[in-house]
Every structure is written in C-alpha cells, then in structure tokens.
Amino acid sequence: MNVFVLVLSLVLCSSAAGIQHHVYPIILETRSTASKLVLRINDKITLNLEKSEVLAEELHFVTATTERHEVETVNTSSIEENIYHDSTERSSLMLHRKYGTLYVEGIVNRKLRIKPVPEGERSAQGHMLHSLYEVQERGENLPIVNTYANNYRRPQGQVQSPYWRWRPTATHPGRYPAFHATTSTASTMTARRTVHTFVVELHIISDEEHNRNFRSKDELIGYLAVMVNAITLRYLEMEMPSITFKIVGVTMSRADIFASHILGTIEAYETLNKLEKYYREGNIPGNPDVVFLITNRDMSTVRGGSLDKDIAGLANVAGVCTTHRVAMGEDIAPSFDGAFAMAHEIGHSLGARHDPRGSGECAWRRGFLMSYEDGGPNKYRLSECSMDAIRTNTEKLPGGCLSESAARMHYIVKSSVMPGQKISASYYCSLIMKRTLIEKRIRSDVSPQTPLELTKQCKMKCCYSVNHQTWCRKVDLLDGMECEEESTCRKGVCMVHKWAEK
C-alpha cells in the first residue's frame, strides 16, 4: 500500500500580522492508500489526514434563470476526493492539482491556516509557494454602554407563530390546514410500522442574494454540506428511526421567481406558497424528501398593516414526502448563521410541532429545538415530544420515501468539519451585524467580546460603537468555536470534543 506524505519545506518570514511560514508542499509516495495522507509540518505538528465523505455521490445541480433551468448531474467524488480531515486536530484541507501544480488550502488546526500564494516565487523544482499562518483573533475590550436589543431578528429560526395565522382546522402550528386524503399526506399513506433509519434527502435552493457569495458551484455545494453537517448534530439523540441528512440536489437561483418581494424583503407566506407551486411544476429534479430554500434576504410578514421582519423560517408541518414538502430559512452567507433555522424548519417538515406551553419534560420554557426559548444545550436537541411526533409521522410514510435514491449514499455521519472551525469570531460578528449597520446607515467596526462567563455558556457578544456608545448583541458560538483553552462548543456545551468520533 502507498502512503502519501506531504512534506512542507519551510521558509520563515515575519510580517505585521505576526509570524508566518512560506512552504512548498511536496507529495511523496510511500506506504498506504490514497485515502490517507500524513502531513508533517514539523516535529511538533503531524496531521493524519483522511478523506471526508459529506455528499450524495450523484447530485443534481440546477442553474435557474428567468429563461431556463440548466440541470447537470455533479459527481461529487471530484469534490470529495480533494477534501481531507484530521479528526484529532480538527483539520480540514483541500488538496488538488492544477496543471501539474499542487495546491493546499484550508485549516491545519484551530489557529494555523494554509493557502496557496500564486503570485509568489516558485521553488527551484517549480512547486507553488504556500503561506502557513496563524489566525489573529481580535478581542477588543470595549465598555458595554447598552445592549443592542431592537430591530434584529431573533437568533432562533422561527416558523409562523400559531398566534399569527392560527385557524381551528390548522395542524398546530403548521402553515396549512390539516391535509385531506386528496393531498397524499403521511396520515393517509400507509399503516404504521417500525422504521429503524431514515436518511432525509434534501434539495436546497440557494437564492440569488445567497449564492452570489460563492465563486463556483463547488464552493456553494461545500458550504451547504457544512450547514447540513451542523444540523445533523441536532438529531443525534433521535432513535427509531435514527435521522441523518443527505444533499441530493442544489439549485443556484439567478432569478428568484418563487419569491414574493415586499420592501426589500421576501414575504414568507406568499413565498412558501409560490415555492410549493415551483416544486409542483417540476422545477426540482429527482424526488427529494424535503425542498429547502436558503435565503440571504430578510424574511417578513404583514401583521396589522405593518411589515414584521421577526421571522426567520417557515415550513409545512409533516410536509416531508408530500406535495407540501417545502421549507425555508434565513442565512447570512458565509457565516453559517442559518443552521438553527434549517434544523428547526426541517423538524417541522418531519412532523414535529412546537413544544407545548406548559410544564413537563417537553415544556416550551425548557428551550429545546422546537421552541424559541434559549435552553442552552437543550436548544441543540429535540424534546421527547418532538421525537415522538417524528416517529409517528415517519411510521406512516411510504416505502418509496424511506428508501434512498442515490446509488451510493455518501451522507454526513461524522462531524469532520463544523461551522466554527471554518470561521473566526471576528468575521462571524461582522457578518451577523452587517445587515443592521446597513439598515441604520452606521459606519463602524464590529468586534466580538468573549468574557469567560459567556464563552463557558457557548455565547459571546458582537459589538459596535456609535456616538460614543457601544451596542452589543448576544449570540451563540457556532459548533466548533473555541470557548476555553482546548475546549470547543458542541450543541451549547463547552468542553473537549472530538468531532469525528461523534
């Protein structure tokens, strides 16, 4: 067997940002298979890299414009064959050759990153120059004058509140009235039976504002894979059936004909209706279990004659595998901010309703995934009531829904790359607050505040200053972000986590 050992020849240099190394990666063929690489940086850092598997092997990719839909089948092995991870160091690297030249890019560990320097001087052997550098964390201790609490959407992904559009015939708190037999819903499909596993196949539509943040379809697919990886963690406790997710299709929309625009936002209810029509008209290839719209725009609804932006997601309860299989949620690309909204809305699609407003183990106030309350670690998992509702719905689904469509099922079963490993706290805060600053016409730097009493709770503050005052918004740390020395956040818990073993 052959092992590929990636040896880095180091040239030390200094810069204003701190110490960085210029390296010339060379792959040496020795023992082992191509699925494993040993990246030896120095005597203290050795990465044992393995290939990552995160996508369906055959994926439908749609480029949608006003004139036409171009559908292509993307063999994701061309993406996955270049992606490696180290489960111990939480490294995520892309290695590929272009015109015979090796490119290495990504995360070496929590602090070190590597990227090609195409404009740099080649080595004597013609190898590409790379920069190995330490990430600088900005932690300015600004005084807290006020707490930013107005005119921002709640951090949780929200479906329509039952108080907004509640009707006696509705499936609480779903968007539609209880479905009748003619709609071919879960309640009328088949007799109940025990289901052990359910791989939920997703087709994700990235709207025009969202996908403009990515330079290529490969970048978009990779970003969505990390998002789905994050939502998978919210369903780890689910049993009988176990729930996992697989991306089987992606639409890169260049003309959002399914969107209903109003004053710079998209109206949620009308957009969900049009999205359902968009699906029924055959614009989504294959037969995914759920079609999810991820949008970079503000969602809104009209209440009492006023535009209300306090909504971040919408879904049809028990819509999975029916004609009502659509859902939607906000995201601020490339911040991975929409992971909770996606997990919450897909929970509705699978049959879970909001947790009850009472007492007991499933109480709304305990803050599980299907509540808007912040229950700390509870927010990263389903309540027993939600799991029971999903089981009941899943047991009635037809066999065609529960069987996987792809010939080979490469879905995310290991959290090899998490959002917090891909983005710094400073950059995350700048993305989260960008919309607020634009709306308020404020020019200000945004910085994170990470006092230990907050990071221990997997939270931090994103702050900006205006008129000699500092305004802050408390946000959750992303899964994979560092909260204490040698510790990271996972499902709201700060401790030492080994992601790939979960």
Residue ranges for the binding site for Zn(2+)? Answer: 344, 348, 354
| Structure tokens belonging to residue 479 | 């899964």
Residues annotated within a binding site: 344, 348, 354
What residues does 465 pair with on adjacent strands?
Answer: 470
User: CB-based contacts of 131: which residues, under 8 Å, 6+ apart?
Assistant: 20, 21, 22, 23, 114, 115, 116, 117, 120
DSSP state, 150? S
User: CB-based contacts of 330: which residues, under 8 Å, 6+ apart?
Assistant: 153, 157, 294, 295, 296, 297, 298, 299, 312, 313, 337, 338, 341
Pairing of strands 4-15, 36-40: parallel
Give the whole-angstrom CA distance, residue 131 versus residue 11.
Answer: 10
For residue 395, the Cα-to-chain-centroid distance in whole angstroms is 28
Q: In 3D, which of 153, 172, 154, 152 has the Cα closest to residue 163? A: 172
What residues does 96 pair with on adjacent strands?
Answer: 103
| Structure tokens belonging to residue 186 | 């879960």
3-state secondary structure of 499: helix
C-alpha triplet 242, 243, 246: angle, nearest 5°? 140
Task: Kindly tell me the burial class for residue 29, based on how many C-beta atoms sit within 10 Å of its own C-beta (0-12, 13-18, 19 or more).
Answer: exposed
Element (H, E) at 428: helix 425-439
Contacts 24+ apart (CB under 8 A), 99-107: 101/126, 101/127, 101/128, 102/25, 102/26, 102/27, 102/127, 102/128, 103/128, 104/6, 104/25, 104/130, 107/417, 107/421, 107/422
First to last CA, the chain: 28
Give the whole-angstrom CA distance, residue 437 versus residue 206.
Answer: 24
Length of the chain as a residue count: 502
**Can you state the angle between helices 339-349 and 217-233, rounded to 10 degrees?**
70
User: CB-based contacts of 162: which residues, under 8 Å, 6+ apart?
Assistant: 170, 172, 173, 354
**Is 53 assigned a catalytic role?**
no
Q: In 3D, which of 435, 204, 431 has the Cα closest to residue 328? A: 204
Q: In 3D, which of 246, 242, 210 has the Cα closest to residue 225? A: 246
Pairing of strands 58-64, 242-253: parallel
**Candidates 89, 276, 330, 345; catalytic one:** 345
Positions marked active-site: 345
